[in-house]
A = this chain, B = another copy of it.
Amino acid sequence: MNKQIILLPGDGVGKEIMESAKVVLNAVASEFGHRFTFHQHAIGGEAIDAYDTPLPEDTVKACKGADAILLGAVGGPKWDALPAAKRPEKGLLGIRKQLGLFANLRPIKGFNSMLHASPLKEEVIAGSDILIIRELTSGLYFGEPRERRENGNAVVDTLYYHRSEMERIIEKAFESARLRDNHVTSVDKANVLESSRMWREIVEETGKKYPDVKVDHMLVDAAAMKLITQPNYFDVIVTENLFGDILSDEASVLTGSLGMLPSASLRSDGLGLYEPVHGSAPDIAGLGIANPVGMILSAAMMLRYSFQMEEEAAEIERAVNDCLDQGYHTADLSSNGGMKVGTKEMTAAIVDSL
């Protein structure tokens, strides 16, 4: 198959890890007889520097015509003082919204070889395997009005959801649960928010179509606790945009390997944007020591979700696991012995293992 892939390396370590993804994808292409064509575009801080906007029209256009998008990371102290509308993150919010990438999928699974690096006790974290599904294009992030009022003495943001926006993400959660352990935990704040009460109703309605999937409702504050005290309680977690932002970042540190976590942002027709969970890490940018695993596993998610290449995706995941089991690790991971390597060596080890 011939696929057009847009690369948005972005800022900080984004460029280095994007190289790794390309190398791995090229190896997969030749092994499986595919053709991946890469087109690189600007986003975030680098786009601000070059085009005075975090999301050039050209980038959006290219993404709209692509089969899938890989993103490195955006942001850095260089652009922190800019007004909100011009900040690198606006590029990220803009591309999600303009492409309609409403479903953010974040698998969180401990690598056995890395659990010793978890802040949690090994008996607490062992065996956890969570898929967090976050609504990504609505809610408090985008609702209007969002403005100063009363001569600048007050302020409002608006949490708006249309029923259809809730329905499609909740459907996604039930479908995903069927491919896993048939358990959906829906997170809301239904004891306070009207939007959460509507959310809960829709989860109940949708659940009727999936009698094989067990559903439970959990308040967001209780979920923030249970992720820490009993992470292996969860299978699929589904929640709205802001709760998903907080809980997925919370969950991302549980396994001790933030640099290894991938994510996918999808719309219904298969177009997706794939990016590692970690940020641009400006402090180590350019040193060649960034952990490429989160980016490489994001590329694997792309093969699975946008290209239906399950075998190829699983092959990358196996190769990554093997390398970790062999003790290869980058500087961000304290390891019990093993081989500390740079971005390129880690990538080469994964390619060798393919």
Task: Give residues in A with beta carbon < 8 Å to B.
Answer: 84, 87, 89, 93, 118-121, 124, 140-141, 143, 146-148, 150, 152-164, 189-195, 197-198, 220-222, 224-225, 228-229, 242-243, 245-250, 252-254, 258
Given A121-B119, A155-B198, A194-B156, does the pair A228, B246 have CB atoms closer than 8 Å?
Answer: no
Interface pairs (29), CB distance under 8 Å: A84-B197, A87-B191, A89-B191, A93-B192, A119-B120, A119-B228, A140-B140, A140-B159, A140-B192, A140-B193, A146-B194, A147-B194, A148-B194, A150-B162, A155-B195, A156-B160, A156-B194, A157-B158, A157-B159, A157-B194, A159-B159, A220-B245, A221-B246, A224-B247, A225-B249, A225-B250, A225-B258, A228-B250, A228-B254
Residues of B close to A224: CB separation below 8 A? 224, 246-247, 249-250
Name the CB-closest residue of B to A88. Answer: B191
Out of B84, B119, B197, name the residue touching A124 (CB < 8 Å): B119
The docked-state distance in angstroms from the alpha carbon of A62 to that of B161 is 40
Name the CB-closest residue of B to A154. Answer: B162
Interface centre among A146, A148, A192, A220 (most CB of B within 10 A): A192
